[in-house]
Structure 1
Amino acid sequence: MTELHFAPALFERLARDSAASPGVTRPSYGAGEQHAHDLVAEAAASLGMEKRVDAAGNMLLTLPGADRSRVLLLGSHVDTVPHGGNYDGLAGVLAGLEVAAGFVRGGRTPAVDIGVVALRAEESVWFPVSYIGSKTALGILPQEALAARRFDSGMTLGEHIREAGFDPEGVARGEKLIDPARIAGFVELHIEQGPHLISEGIVLGVVDGIRGSIRYREARCLGAYAHSGAVPRKWRHDAVVASAELVTRLDALWVELEEQGHDLTLTVGQLYTDAEQHAFAKVAGECRICIDVRSRSTDTLALVDERLKALCEEIAAARRVRFELGPRTGSTPAPMDERMQARLAEAAEALGVSWRRMSSGAGHDAATFALAGVPSVMLFVRNENGSHNPDEHMEMDDFAKAVAVMRRMASDFA
């Protein structure tokens, strides 16, 4: 379909260099993330691309076009979740690099600048903040986010930015990597994170929207510790039983709302007692809960938040416990640009590559660009084993087809 100049070797190199069995680990503002940036920059330098790095460490690699007043951005992030896969994020950056390489090796000048962005800190598992890289690149990260602490190091985002050699004060001032008014469009290639494309035998997904989220990362159910043999059921304040009821009631709520036509996912990703306090022969006095709600509809998110709080009150009264949801974080749903969707679809049709329209259940940097008024779109490549796990799998032939579609779109861009 199309020749790949850098991607296979870089995928292999970074899988080896980032190995953390099982899978790979490139923490946000860690050595692995920086190593990936360095390797991508080295490849771009061989193509004669211009390089800029902003106060947060986001990198923009530019292939000059005939019209230098506008830029078509291609890219994603390179950090991973702990023990994740090698393609999530990285594939989008390397796809952009391959598009630029096609112009250079073919001796052609694009109509507008081609900008390849390698963004920082997209995986919010490291810091409790959504879309750090894209928000800093656009100069819109709230100053208070710099005080967020990375879960493993305990250091703040600002401290990590400084330790990596960048400028948290510049981030606080809202310095931008690029003016949104210059961006003609943003395309983020990504492996699909669910089973749809692979199960349907379709290579590519053109994304029409990205779900927003509500997250309670530090929720707790507080009851009372007691002896497991000496305290009857009617006198217990059992945090585990109350938490389990909340989980099952939330699952029933999901079924109810989905039957009503709501777009929704609802996940309790963590549910655990305090290992230092709890024991085999104790009624649990505390249970910690992590709740993740996602939807394309802000109204649905608001409805679930309201119903969640009502459930907490109801269960707390019945079980004689107290729920503390803690800080709420999240993101806003983002529709993708219809014209950008059409451009990708037209390119796929012209090249005979199978595709379908679909939504993204997960969050991506493209949401930040879209909500900032930048015409944005995502292109999914089928992936057999989902993402955020060591078994991510993408065929290089499928990746090459996706690059060919992006390259044709970029060639026709005006």
Structure 2
Amino acid sequence: MESLSAVAGLRSGVDVLFLMLGAVMVFAMHAGFAFLEVGTVRKKNQVNAFVKILTDWSVSTIAYFLVGFPLAYGISFFVPAKDLLGATQGYDLVHYFFLLCFAACIPAIISGGIAERAKFWPQVFAGAIFAAISYPLFESLIWGKNAALLQGFFKQVGGAEFHDYAGSVVVHSIGGWLALPAVLFLGARSGRYLNGKSHPLPISNIPFLALGSWILAVGWFGFNVMSAGHLENISGLVAVNSLLAMVGGVLSALVAGRNDPGFVHNGALAGLIAICAGSDLMHPLAAFVTGVIASLIFVYGFHFEQEKLRIDDVLGVWPLHGVIGSWGGIAAGIFGQPLFGGMGGVSFVSQLLGTLAAIAFALANGFLVYGVLSKTVGIRLNVDEEFAGADLSIHHIGAYPEDHVR
């Protein structure tokens, strides 16, 4: 009996370590979000990007601990520490840490779309609502305690449950479609569109943008591979599919974006976003194709959004996370089929329905939250504050203080 107990303890410890390492890798991705935004916005808004991402992370940590995680999985932490540790050496705690990193992606994604003209505290409040209530509600219906409700419907109609292994839809699509109402309510940055003409605003730092992309790409292997939850479920297929989807995204963006470094580095992210849902199902060559298509969606979708629809989404988070996340959910229903070398057990109809449900849920939440905020406290900086930049207007210091020393 003692040997069996020791084996069980070792197994629990290994799973806790496995998931903790994944959590740390995904936590590091938030530095990637920060540098991607800092490199894309102008110098007068760099401090704001850094502070905003870290503050959103911190608020999300509390909101998801107290409300979000219990809402999604029915596990409360309002018990003595001894009970929190339990027989599994605190697996639920580290599971919370890992899934928090997913939940906190929602305000981090939105941050890139609303950059350079959004008020600070209203967005922090919105992020708290999303991390505590909106995201966990949808999470509970796909992965959590209420999954039988919605998944049962998908299985009855489509023949299989909605499959989203690592969050193309649950995380990225939700985040991108939540961002769209915020961007629409805010309106374009001053000077972005003048006299019916588009005037793209310069970005500040391509090396920072590239650094953000690299940090995100490396951390993504924790995002996808460690979604197995337990060491015994780890899959080399997930790792290689993530790799090939990323490379497909890079090469596709290189050609379609005509060597533009912004498209190339976001192309890597496009491929990784798209592969999350079906990374455990697809053949690696299908994963590559998924990444290629995802990158094309971003390159042409970003142009369509900015130049045709005249939506000033600074980092292009709606096409990158929203539309491509949706593509990832649908792609799992296509390339997960045995016809394309996939593992099977997935339904195109269920994938389409689940993806559409996420879009409707996110848009409803986004318009509600940002609509209320815009009508009450307001969500946009005034003209003078925007002209001075969010750094000086909100944080009272610039990214390069010595530039102001005379």
Normalised-by-shorter TM-score class: under 0.3
Which protein is richer in helix relative to its size?
2
TM-score by length of 2: 0.25
Which one has a bigger Cα radius of gyration?
1
Which protein is richer in strand relative to its size?
1
TM-score by length of 1: 0.25
